[in-house]
Amino acid sequence: MKTVITYGTFDLFHVGHLNLLRRAKELGDYLIVAVSSDEFNLGKNKVCKIKDTDRMKIVEAIKYVDKVIPETSWEQKIEDVKKYNVDVFVMGDDWKGKFDFLKDYCEVVYLPRTEGISTTQLKEELKG
């Protein structure tokens, strides 16, 4: 069995998120998604519109997702890769190169973002 993991905030869940999860699942048999906790996001100066427990429930309901875990720190990625015997680590290509240190533990794949949609864009549109 090939295990894939990805990380994200998944605030204001949209089709770009869905595309990322679908394409991540296509890279293996079992997809683990780590959803950033509210506390971890505050440390990144990000405030979510949807609380972490609800974001985790939303992600968990997606048919491509097999397991959801909380993301609570930057450092947990190596621990997660080891703990869950991950074969492939996936992130959007806006993070390209940032997680290459994981290549010592698993394959690292950066997937292209879905054009024309982002949480930042949605938040801006909702202001107006």
Do you know the residue count of the chain? Answer: 128
Q: What is the pLDDT of residue 126?
A: 64
CA distances from 44 to 9, 38, 49, 92 (A): 11, 10, 15, 18
Q: What is the pLDDT of residue 128?
A: 62
Q: What is the CATH number of domain 3-126?
A: 3.40.50.620
Under 8 Å between Cβ of 13 and 3: no
Catalytic residue among 2, 46, 51, 103: 46
Catalytic residue among 2, 25, 44, 82: 44
Q: What is the pLDDT of residue 13?
A: 86
Under 8 Å between Cβ of 33 and 57: no
25 is catalytic: no
Residue 123: pLDDT over 70: no
End-to-end CA distance of the chain: 47
**Domain boundaries in the chain?**
3-126
pLDDT digits (tens, 9 = 90+) for 41-67: 999 888 888 999 999 999 999 999 999
pLDDT digits (tens, 9 = 90+) for 75-94: 999 999 999 999 999 999 99
pLDDT band at 24 (very low <50, low <70, confident <90, very high): very high
Q: Which amino acid is at 38?
A: D
pTM > 0.85: yes
Residue 119: pLDDT over 90: no
Q: What is the pLDDT of residue 69?
A: 98
Under 8 Å between Cβ of 21 and 33: yes
96 is catalytic: no
Nearest 5°: phi and psi at 11? -80, 145
